[in-house]
Structure 1
Amino acid sequence: MKQRNLLTRQTVAEMVEPSSAEYVELGERSSPKLDKYQKVSIIPLVFLIFYEVSGGPFGVEDSVQAAGPLLALLGFLLVPFIWSIPEALITAELGTMLPENGGYVVWVSSALGPYWGFQQGWMKWLSGVIDNALYPVLFLDYLKSAIPALEGGLPRTIAVLVLTLALTYMSYRGLTIVGWVAILLGVFSLLPFIFMGIVAIPKLKPSRWLMVELGNIDWGLYLNTLFWNLNYWDSISTLAGEVENPSKTLPKALFYAVILVVFGYFFPLLIGTGAIPLDRQLWTDGYFSDIGKMLGGVWLLTWIQAAAALSNMGMFLAEMSSDSFQLEGMACRGMLPELFAKRSRYGTPQVGILFSATGVLLLSWLSFQEIVAAENFLYCFGMIMEFIAFVKLRIDRPAESRPFKIPVGTAGAILMCIPPTLLILVVLAFASLKVMVISMVAVIIGLVVEPCLRYSEKNRWFRFSMNADLHDFHSAYH
């Protein structure tokens, strides 16, 4: 979501190469128990991040409806500086400092203790499951014009169930398969917009990009659309234990993914707003397919619709992998029962996948706007704890091995977290009362579940254990 000039030359160099020789020890280590599973290389990892965050420009249309072309374009150029780049940099530093499954759960546990680590895991897992409940529904929304029976009723319910089970099975078959499927889907999803840009060149009018109505802006819709499309950079950290040479691969993959995501949003918006006369009310989900028809004909419309539908499959697979490996990482730290750490013969956490898929099915009845708002609300709480953990680990453990380190001191680390924190507060302020109540109930459930798990451990209702191969940051219970 950003061009190369959005990063300073120094930061670019830091993301492409690990910082200094003293930061190599921890990033190169891996659990002997995990070595038998095939690791994810850089190209599949880039596209897994792409699908964790974006999946293409499908869903950004509301930004034009909410604020017009100028603010939509500026939003997807400038917000990456405020949010995406800081989150990606923090993920690169902490993900290489602690290259194990569980990601941000381990970071918060290391800085604030296991109780808050569990709360982080609960909120981020629930946010991810809520997010994943969108994709089977959106996939069917793109098909219902061709198959009207999928618009509602029993056929739609059965289709959601079948699609969720099919994609869950693909996740079960292995992370390597998911990574390469993400590459194919990513290329297929972005190519139609390249063609759309080529055929639109004669029709572009730059004056259309400058249109703005300051008195007619839906700030809540605008900010939620930007935030929803630009977050989840940290989700890949829950797979860090599955990455090939994470100390080098993870920072590079995050860097390339940021560029890919920025381009995947900004270029279609630039073409769509510059080539077509503006009617803000038409800019809703799926409008890019209409633009494709106006610019290239029915064949381009069909391609964009197919790309949008398949993009939802890619996002489901990436999110399911992240959520299930997070639960596996928490079990390895003794936060969840040991059964969550068990792996299938394909190396995937089968109980975590089953648990996450069940959550997706239970939440698939929510509306799109409710899902986005509730997901953003929970995600914001989790991100605040990540920022606190990032700064606290810088203060408490300055000499700890960091294969990649953001080239700022402690004061710089604090300053870097201020703009995204302010954005979080703004997003939270625009949440509806209904979303606030639902989200706070979800938070309270997490506060209660953790002591219940400790009670079940004390009474030996479930078996808990700590993986001896993991780095000890006093983040486990055992």
Structure 2
Amino acid sequence: MEESKKLGLGTFIGMTMALCATVRSIPSVAATGWSQITYMIFAVVFFALPVALISGELGTMLQAEGGPQLWVKTAMGGKWGFVTAWLLWVQMFPGMVMVASTIGPLWGNTFGNVALGNNHWFILANILGFYWIITVLNLKYDMAKVGGNIGVWLGVYIPIVIMLIMGIAALIKTGINPASYLGTFSWGKLIPSFDNLSTLQYFAAISFIYTGIEMSSVFIPRLHNAKKTYTRGIFIALAGLVLMNILNAMLVANTVPDGQIQLSNITQPILLWCHILGWPTIIANIFSFMVVIGVLIQLSAWVTGPSKTMTQVARNGQLPASFGYHKVNKYGVSRNVVLTQSICISLFALLYGVMKNVNNVFLTLTNATTVIYALVYVLIAIAIIRLRQKQPDLERPYR
């Protein structure tokens, strides 16, 4: 690639942050109060940063298509490559339900009916209805071209700016709220105490913020001075993600009364800020509508993305031909894979029918997704050790 067309540090930082930026996790982070700072540092140092650096080496060493599946397959054989592809696919089942569960509360807030948005049956109906509509559209049309970057702007960037502006304005007006999740500061609140281990249930949700960071390694061949730019870019991008999440989560934690946070309702603090500032609640309605459109477009991108790993392993002969997973339509999408995952996602969604506590379902789904994804990261870590032993002379553009 010509030097003039190489990606610079600033562009790479923006592209990396776009992979992990989300507003969905902010209520989960806020629910931990002051201890969110400790949890966030731990998640970055022991989870996100090692994964990003390991992926940087593997991604430049093995640049063919396949990502984590290719890395593990090269190091440990076809069987473990299949396991990796399988795990990356099945993490979608609880993961997509968790993402789609925000649609119900967002619709409720869009039309000013907060109670309806928090009804578990209404949330279930929204997940099933919209996910199947998106599935059908992805089978009929090339939806990747329809969404583009609109979903990221509507679902992430603009909402984050709105939350920061309103949260800071409310903080200036009210100061620290002692009755909130944050409460008054003390050094002891930074460390989760044995008396209050309940915040540990949110640690997986905080770690989940950084899942997908390994995908930044695909940009390495396009970077100017890759070795230096990748390392600096990853550190700066992670610092940006930490600041973005902690600033917003602190503002939310200082507003929501202790014990009343709604994990799947990102509009809850917006409504509270409207009341504190005396601003019209139509801001919350517009905010909710923007985010719901963003979530739907992002869901659409995920319908076909991970399914392609299963199509690849089917073509490698690791799945029975009778499944038909190897057959694709003119958009390169396997109808059988997509329908199978939609049925499985629908079954996971039924948790909202059998469990009335919306917060508990959201946490269960988040934790399940994070644990499955963490298993992939364990396999990737084993892969880099095996390749250092088995193929020490293999060219490593980034080490």
- TM-score above 0.5: yes
Residue 49 (structure 1) aligns with: 19
Q: 1:246 to 1:330 in 2, by over 3 A?
A: farther
Residue 27 (structure 2) aligns with: 61
Q: 1:363 to 1:392 in 2, by over 3 A?
A: same
The residue correspondences of 1:132-151 to structure 2 (distance < 5 A) are: 132-144=96-108, 146=111, 151=119
The residue correspondences of 1:340-419 to structure 2 (distance < 5 A) are: 340-366=325-351, 367-403=361-397, 405-406=398-399
Residue 328 (structure 1) aligns with: 311
Q: 1:350 to 1:188 in 2, by over 3 A?
A: farther
1:288 aligns with 2:269: yes
Residue 459 (structure 1) aligns with: none
Q: Which runs of 5+ in 2 are unaligned?
A: 1-6, 177-181, 352-360
Q: 1:289 to 1:127 in 2, by over 3 A?
A: same
Deviation at 1:47, TM superposition (A): 6.7
1:248 aligns with 2:215: no
* Match of residue 162, structure 2, among 176, 180, 192: 192
Deviation at 1:104, TM superposition (A): 1.2
| Residues 413-445 of structure 1, C-alpha deviations (whole Å, 9 max, x = no match) | xxxxxxxxxxxxxxxxxxxxxxxxxxxxxxxxx
| Residues 343-386 of structure 1, C-alpha deviations (whole Å, 9 max, x = no match) | 44334455443333332222211232332232233233222111
Secondary structure of 1:72's partner? helix
Residue 98 (structure 1) aligns with: 62
Is the contact made by 2:16 and 2:216 (CA closer than 8 Å) also made in structure 1?
no
Equivalences, count: 353
Single out whichever of 324-333 and 128-137 deviates more from structure 2.
324-333
The residue correspondences of 1:92-241 to structure 2 (distance < 5 A) are: 92-144=56-108, 146=111, 151=119, 158-169=125-136, 171=138, 173-185=142-154, 186-200=156-170, 202-203=172-173, 204-205=175-176, 208-210=184-186, 212=189, 214=193, 215-234=195-214
Is the contact made by 1:168 and 1:353 (CA closer than 8 Å) also made in structure 2?
yes
Provide the alpha-carbon RMSD of the alignment. 3.8
Is the contact made by 1:196 and 1:295 (CA closer than 8 Å) also made in structure 2?
no
Deviation at 1:94, TM superposition (A): 2.0
C-alpha distance in structure 2 between counterparts of 1:157 and 1:179, whole Å: 27
C-alpha distance in structure 2 between counterparts of 1:191 and 1:223, whole Å: 25
| Residues 295-316 of structure 1, C-alpha deviations (whole Å, 9 max, x = no match) | 5432443344345534533552
Q: 1:176 to 1:208 in 2, by over 3 A?
A: farther
Q: Which runs of 5+ in 1 are unaligned?
A: 1-14, 18-40, 407-478
Q: What TM-score does the superposition give when structure 1 sets the normalisation length?
A: 0.62
Deviation at 1:171, TM superposition (A): 4.8
Q: What TM-score does the superposition give when structure 2 sets the normalisation length?
A: 0.73
Q: 1:218 to 1:157 in 2, by over 3 A?
A: closer
Identical pairs, percent: 17
The residue correspondences of 1:68-107 to structure 2 (distance < 5 A) are: 68=33, 70-107=34-71
Deviation at 1:80, TM superposition (A): 1.2
C-alpha distance in structure 2 between counterparts of 1:374 and 1:400, whole Å: 36
